[in-house]
Structure 1
Amino acid sequence: MALVCPVILGSVRSDRQGLRVARFLIVQLEARGWEAPLVDPAALQLPLLDRMYKEHPKGEAPPKLEALAELYRRADAFVVVSAEYNHSVPPALSNTLDHFLEEYFWRPSAICCYSAGQYGGVRAAMQLRAMLAELGMPSIPSLLPVPRVGKALDEAGTAAEPWLPKAAGRFLDELTWYAEALKAQRQKGTPY
């Protein structure tokens, strides 16, 4: 059975470059036989967090949240694609993540960060690591930073620089290891 890995995009800006990164990673994951649906906050248009999914009476959550909860419960891992806004996590990403909790538990995450400049969004990634761990989906040790994203990937998500597919391969090898290991452990049961 294919591993399931939602790719959670973190930007809603009209000229967002992260969509290039998400498209690239979806192709890379699907080439490995994974199911890799895009979770796009621009398409979801979730309201600012007032009530988490779990705080709705059973069966009464908005349909968008029900669909995400079902996807997340099937997930074996998550890839989070984050820009860096003011040295931090984009608000749309934080809002999208904060609607859930238990659905993330015991699943690894992998952070792919990007920027128009040379640092590739790594300052946001450091804050995102703590956030993802608190949500119950700790990130794998490796990051995939994509500096100069507009030159590294075209609109369709095709790599324009040869280092990127190679780096993504190692990054996804690591995520695969963690996803398979934690899936096997979840099947044996979890501490709670």
Structure 2
Amino acid sequence: ERLMRADGYLFVTPEYNHSVPAALKNFLDHFGPEFYRKPAAVVSYSASKFGGIRVIDHLSDILLALGLIVTPNNMPISQVEKTFDDAGNLNDERYIKRVKKFIDSFIWYLETLSTKEK
């Protein structure tokens, strides 16, 4: 019921062998119909310099197959252990503008698509 009431979904995931964690895939398979025609944005993170970019592609394919509207902006976070401090604060200035653009884009999709449904 909570999933159905949501205007959209923000997925945050690590990359495991270029794919999504099994628990996330199981969750999506179980609740698939609840996600239909809702916007989705993806954040990935990885210790590598690529920031889990491959999981974004894979997860986006899964989300599209479930009928979600995947926003074109995504947020790969590379070298996650350097990007955040021990308290979880963002300490890499390069990401500040990217995070704002990512969030602003997701909010636009949430607002635009939620008014279409009403």
Q: Taking structure 2 as the reference length, what is the TM-score of the superposition? A: 0.93
SS at 2:72's partner residue? strand
Measure the CA separation in 1 of the matches of 2:40 and 2:117.
15
Measure the CA separation in 2 of the matches of 1:147 and 1:163.
11
**Matched length:** 118
Please tell me whether residue 146 in structure 1 is matched to residue 77 in structure 2: yes
Query: Which residue of 84, 87, 102 maps to 2:18?
Result: 87
The one-letter code matched in structure 2 to 1:95 is N
The one-letter code matched in structure 1 to 2:6 is A
Alignment correspondent of 1:161: 92
Q: What's the CA shift for 1:102?
A: 2.3
The one-letter code matched in structure 2 to 1:147 is S
| CA distance 1:107–1:151, shift in 2 (3 Å) | same
Alignment correspondent of 1:108: 39
Measure the CA separation in 2 of the matches of 1:84 and 1:164.
19
The one-letter code matched in structure 2 to 1:128 is L
Q: What's the CA shift for 1:126?
A: 0.5
Larger radius of gyration, structure 1 or 2?
1
The one-letter code matched in structure 2 to 1:172 is I
Task: Output the aligned Cα RMSD.
Answer: 1.2
Between Structure 1 and Structure 2, which shows a larger proportion of helix residues? Answer: 2
Q: What's the CA shift for 1:142?
A: 1.0
| Kept after mapping to 2: 8 A contact 1:129/1:138 | no
Please tell me whether residue 177 in structure 1 is matched to residue 108 in structure 2: yes
Please tell me whether residue 75 in structure 1 is matched to residue 2 in structure 2: no
Percent identity over the alignment is: 39
Measure the CA separation in 2 of the matches of 1:94 and 1:138.
17
Measure the CA separation in 1 of the matches of 2:54 and 2:11.
14
The one-letter code matched in structure 2 to 1:78 is Y
Measure the CA separation in 2 of the matches of 1:138 and 1:128.
12
Measure the CA separation in 2 of the matches of 1:155 and 1:110.
25
Deviates more, 1:108-117 or 1:161-170: 161-170
Q: What's the CA shift for 1:155?
A: 4.1
- Give the 5 Å matches for 1:119-130: 119-130=50-61
Unaligned runs of 5+ in 2: none
SS at 2:20's partner residue? coil
**Structure 1 moving runs of 4+ over 2 Å:** 154-157
SS at 1:100's partner residue? helix
Measure the CA separation in 2 of the matches of 1:154 and 1:93.
26
